[in-house]
Structure 1
Amino acid sequence: MLTPRSARALPVALAVSLLAAGCSGGAPAESPDASASDSPAPMTVGALELVPQTYLTAPVSEEDLSRVLVGGCADDAPCPGFVVLEGDAVAADAAEPVLDDGIACPGGEGLTPTEATVVEEADVTVAHGQARLTVFDVTCVGDVASEAVSVQQRQWVAEGPDGTVVVVDRWGLDGLDRALAESAWTNAT
């Protein structure tokens, strides 16, 4: 069932899908022996190992923060992506919205997230275990005060073997929820 909130997220998800296809120059090239059942190799993103969508690039990690972006974006352009925070990068209250993750806002160049309001919460699965998903309406503003957009940010909070892990997606990346649910902890014993 399509709710008004999920209906607002559809244009962003569609735009990301189109951007991903456009940024990579169309469909990914297949090797001569590739089959439809082939999937990307697992990728380690912070404390999680997940199977990413084919349009995502390898993560860039800085201490306790790992960023994964869509491939093919220009160096100076906003690029869709998500972030995994752990350790000292996780706020004392992990349920608070993460707005300083270095991922740009959808909607134009120079838009920065400034405030957020909770619109939905649900129990979900991350790494085959219980987690909490919070959806925020995030206000993003540009250099000009009149330049502002509102986007939805999904934020998963899970307890891993080494502490709390927070995953932030304000681009509505297709398949990320499934990839997180099916992921595994990199240091699980």
Structure 2
Amino acid sequence: MLCERCNKNEAKIHLIKLINGKKTETWLCEKCAKELSDIPLKASMAEGAGMPFQNILSGFFETLDKTKKIEIVCKNCGLTYSQFKKSGQLGCSKCYESFNDLLSPRIKRIQGDLEHVGKIPVREGNEVIQRKRIKKLKEDLQKAVIKEEYERAAVLRDEIKLLESQREVKIDHEELDR
């Protein structure tokens, strides 16, 4: 098969482009492929024979790295993501919002979750645990209502009322002891 561009040399490269869901295929010789493509090609395809796939891809990604990159900047303090990567320190609390898409996967991988749980004080530990339990039950109640699981919602509602009443009784006893 001849090259579809120069119609002189034998076509050895099958170039497939997929742009906005539209696929175009072209058969090219090595010379025309080098002229058209941004992907670096060996002087001869024979040189690349037996080459590991990773080496082929590394050349492609090196080309992509040279393309223009978009820099994310915190609107509050002006810190760029590149500066953060170098220093390892964020400039302000708004940086978490600005770099959220890039930071969240890393934080989750390192810490196991995105929500900070923290430590519970020994003296008031039961009170904190009780409040968190009630908060979680209220969230579950909202989800059950949205899913129209009314029997489960009723059980959750009753459990919330019980825990809140126990909490109020405990608070009343503590005030009487003072």
Q: TM-score normalised to the size of structure 2?
A: 0.18
Pair member with larger Rg: 2
Which protein is richer in helix relative to its size?
Answer: 2
Q: TM-score normalised to the size of structure 1?
A: 0.17
